[in-house]
Amino acid sequence: MKLAIALKENDFNSSVDERFGRASYFLIIDNETKDYEIIENEAKDEVTGAGLKAVKTLMKYGVEIIIAGEIGPKAATLINEFEIPTYKLGSYEKVNEVLEAFNKNLLEKYDLSPKPMGLRKA
């Protein structure tokens, strides 16, 4: 199962990045074999739609789970459409801490389902 985690630096021991679409790098790791690669987030400098482009890039790499701090509304919509389970980073700051918490089912899952807009007055 391939997971993606946003990173601040191009290093496995880097701190994780709270930002998703604006993160500098993504760690893509096979949680079973522990094989991984780090890719640059080409969307990080986009004027708009960075999160959307980041999601599309991760899909090309076969990512099945995303672990992130903040997910923007556009990215959330696309993640929901692709039905990608997405988990919150919580207070973890390093990749090993995040992976250990994920493997122990300690990470909270995002609810990215569309929210009703409610009633509007005429």
* Residue 104 to residue 85: CA distance in whole angstroms: 16
Query: Please, what are the domains in the chain?
Result: 2-103 (3.30.420.130)
The Cα 41–Cα 55 span in angstroms is: 10
CB 69 within 8 A of CB 7: no
Per residue in 5-56, pLDDT (tens digit) is 999 999 999 999 999 999 999 999 999 999 999 999 998 988 888 999 999 9
**Average pLDDT of 87-113?**
93
CA distance 39 to 60: 12
Strand (E) positions, the chain?
Answer: 2-7, 25-30, 36-40, 65-68, 86-88
Indicate whether 119 pLDDT > 90.
no
Residues of the chain with pLDDT > 70, as a percent, come to: 93
Q: How confident is the model at residue 114 (pLDDT cuts 50, 70, 90)?
A: confident
